[in-house]
């Protein structure tokens, strides 16, 4: 038996292989070919990138959600990878998430699009490496109950939640003398901007995160701190915490990824360079450790670590996240759906940066909150929120094109 506690390579399905988390995961897996084998890779419609990944990592299955992209992909791999099985659609994602030869599923599809396939992995009793926070935001109770019923193991990959997991004795608050969780946030690129300048933020400025290399949507969420709001909701479900036990603290250097404060007022923190390969490697190897390919911290070069409180008037999206936590039911799903619509509209230059929070508030005010006890109820709330958010876009001031 090797240092990871396994005798043969573990099979891995990577949901969302062509995104930033997916690419980082493949980098880590490539460092440990004796410990892991890639069984399935999936993408939405990125044919060229998925093809290159399949040629490099030689999975047994490939999935493209978009049917036309899957047809194109199939025609191109027929001669170069004849044994590759190509699937499509949500059904294809669910199939590769539950394959018998798969031990671990990296759930890295961004947004609500990743809910059903991540839930399929949970229902198959897999070890789920959760980078798709929206699954817990939208359907936290359902997700956790299914994991318990089906014997699935959920390991957080978000750097903040992975840090908390490392700082807790058994991954849960109750019974461990925990006073509160402290999620750190960089504050994004506009932390020190005058408030009067925020309506003039461009998409290019919003996606230029000062510390992390991330996708466009999550970069905008970091700039509004909606990403941190979603993480607060996720933390409550992952660690069985109350909303009042989860605080957010701005830490511009992104070296301390999160902290746990105990009743005796001692604080345990997890530190590391801002590189997603660290939490990915931790989750893949848990309960053991293995190399991530990331350089170590140079403490002498750090010089100083700074902390600031969150200015609620600067980051209203964070307050909305705490609001929907208190409301419960379908409220978090409504918030998430409205945010996805609003962020895409901003990236497409249809609305201003400051319109995002306004639209979210309008959607939350417009829709009733119902129980989120079935996937159908969550999906209906998601669809309704997208419809109302789209109507709200029409009332926004158009983004200036000159």
Q: Which of 51, 39, 32, 47 is nearest to 11 (CA)?
A: 39
Confidence of residue 399 (pLDDT cuts 50, 70, 90): low
Q: For residues 309 and 119, give the distance between their C-alpha atoms in angstroms, rounded to a whole number.
A: 35
The pLDDT of 86-91, averaged and rounded, is 96
The pLDDT of 373-387, averaged and rounded, is 95
Examine the pLDDT at 272 and tell me if it is beyond 70.
Answer: yes
Residue 311: inside a domain, yes or no?
no
Examine the pLDDT at 187 and tell me if it is beyond 80.
Answer: yes
Q: For residues 90 and 84, give the distance between their C-alpha atoms in angstroms, rounded to a whole number.
A: 19
Residue 302 pLDDT: 86
Is the bond preceding residue 287 a cis peptide, omega within 30 degrees? yes
Structure tokens, 150: 């089906």
Structure tokens, 198: 């925020």
Residue 56: inside a domain, yes or no?
yes
Burial grade of 293 (CB within 10 A; 0-12, 13-18, 19 or more): middle
Residue 300: inside a domain, yes or no?
no
Examine the pLDDT at 385 and tell me if it is beyond 90.
Answer: yes
Residue 336: inside a domain, yes or no?
no
What share of the chain has pLDDT > 90, as a percent?
Answer: 84
Residue 213 pLDDT: 66
Residue 332: inside a domain, yes or no?
no
Confidence of residue 212 (pLDDT cuts 50, 70, 90): low
Examine the pLDDT at 55 and tell me if it is beyond 70.
Answer: yes
Residue 136: inside a domain, yes or no?
yes
Residue 36: inside a domain, yes or no?
yes
Q: For residues 386 and 341, give the distance between their C-alpha atoms in angstroms, rounded to a whole number.
A: 6
Examine the pLDDT at 395 and tell me if it is beyond 90.
Answer: no
Domain with residue 84: its CATH number is: 3.40.50.720
Element (H, E) at 113: none
Confidence of residue 124 (pLDDT cuts 50, 70, 90): very high
Which tens digits make up the pLDDT trace of 90-116?
999 999 999 999 999 999 998 888 999
Give the phi and the psi of residue 48 in degrees, each rounded to 5. -60, -45
Which tens digits make up the pLDDT trace of 287-327?
999 999 999 999 988 888 999 999 999 999 999 999 999 99
Residue 7 pLDDT: 66
Residue 303 pLDDT: 80
Q: What is the mean pLDDT of the chain?
A: 93
Q: Which domain holds residue 121?
A: 10-157
Residue 167 pLDDT: 95
Residue 398 pLDDT: 62
Q: Which value, in Å, is the radius of gyration of the alpha carbons in the chain?
A: 21
H helices within 105-225, ranges in order?
115-123, 134-150, 159-167, 203-206, 216-224
H helices within 196-262, ranges in order?
203-206, 216-224, 226-239
Examine the pLDDT at 173 and tell me if it is beyond 80.
Answer: no
Residue 188 pLDDT: 87
Q: 284: how many CB neighbours lie within 10 A of its CB? A: 25
What share of the chain has pLDDT > 70, as a percent?
Answer: 96
Q: For residues 227 and 131, give the distance between their C-alpha atoms in angstroms, rounded to a whole number.
A: 12
Residue 342 pLDDT: 96
The pLDDT of 172-178, averaged and rounded, is 81
Residue 3 pLDDT: 46
Examine the pLDDT at 6 and tell me if it is beyond 70.
Answer: no
Structure tokens, 359: 């639209």
E strand residue ranges, 223-299: 246-250, 256-262, 267-271
pTM flag (> 0.75): yes
Contact between 154 and 172 under an 8 Å Cβ cutoff? The reply is no
More confident residue, 172 or 273: 273
Q: For residues 47 and 64, give the distance between their C-alpha atoms in angstroms, rounded to a whole number.
A: 8
Residue 53: inside a domain, yes or no?
yes
Q: For residues 297 and 169, give the distance between their C-alpha atoms in angstroms, rounded to a whole number.
A: 24
Examine the pLDDT at 363 and tell me if it is beyond 70.
Answer: yes
Contact between 122 and 147 under an 8 Å Cβ cutoff? The reply is yes
**How many domains does the chain contain in total?**
1
Which tens digits make up the pLDDT trace of 331-356?
999 999 999 999 999 999 999 999 99
């Amino acid at each position: 038996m090797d240092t990871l506690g396994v005798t043969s390579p573990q099979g891995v399905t990577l949901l969302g292989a062509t995104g930033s988390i997916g690419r980082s995961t493949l980098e880590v897996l490539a460092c440990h070919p004796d410990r892991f084998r890639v069984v399935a890779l999936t993408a939405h419609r990125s044919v060229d990138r998925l093809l290159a990944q399949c040629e490099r990592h030689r999975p047994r299955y490939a999935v493209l959600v978009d049917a036309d992209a899957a047809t194109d992909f199939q025609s191109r791999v027929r001669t170069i990878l004849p044994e590759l099985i190509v699937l499509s659609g949500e059904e294809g994602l669910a199939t590769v998430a539950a394959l018998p030869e798969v031990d671990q599923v990296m759930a890295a599809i961004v947004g609500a699009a990743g809910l059903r396939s991540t839930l399929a992995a949970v229902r198959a009793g897999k070890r789920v490496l959760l980078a798709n926070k929206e699954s817990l935001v939208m359907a936290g109770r359902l997700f956790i109950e299914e994991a318990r019923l089906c014997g699935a193991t959920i390991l957080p990959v978000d750097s903040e939640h992975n840090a908390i997991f490392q700082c807790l004795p058994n991954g849960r608050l109750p019974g461990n003398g925990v006073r509160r969780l402290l999620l750190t946030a960089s504050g994004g690129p506009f932390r020190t901007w005058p408030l009067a300048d925020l309506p003039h933020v461009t998409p290019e400025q919003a996606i230029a995160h000062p510390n992390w290399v991330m996708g466009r949507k999550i970069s905008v969420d970091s700039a509004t701190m909606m990403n941190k709001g979603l993480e607060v909701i996720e933390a409550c479900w992952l660690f069985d915490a109350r909303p009042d036990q989860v605080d957010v603290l701005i830490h511009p250097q992104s070296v301390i990824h999160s902290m746990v404060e105990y009743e005796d007022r001692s604080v345990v923190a997890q530190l590391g360079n801002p590189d997603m390969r660290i939490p990915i490697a931790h989750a893949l190897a848990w309960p053991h450790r293995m190399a991530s390919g990331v350089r170590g911290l140079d403490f002498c070069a750090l010089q100083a670590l700074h902390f600031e409180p969150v200015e609620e008037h600067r980051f209203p999206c964070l307050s909305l996240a705490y609001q929907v936590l208190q409301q419960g039911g379908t409220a978090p799903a409504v918030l998430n759906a409205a945010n996805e619509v609003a962020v895409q509209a901003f990236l497409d230059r249809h609305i201003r940066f400051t319109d995002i929070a306004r639209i979210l508030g309008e959607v939350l005010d417009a829709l009733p909150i119902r129980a989120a006890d079935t996937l159908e109820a969550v999906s209906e709330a998601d669809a309704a929120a997208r419809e109302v958010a789209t109507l709200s876009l029409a009332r926004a001031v158009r983004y200036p094109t000159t």
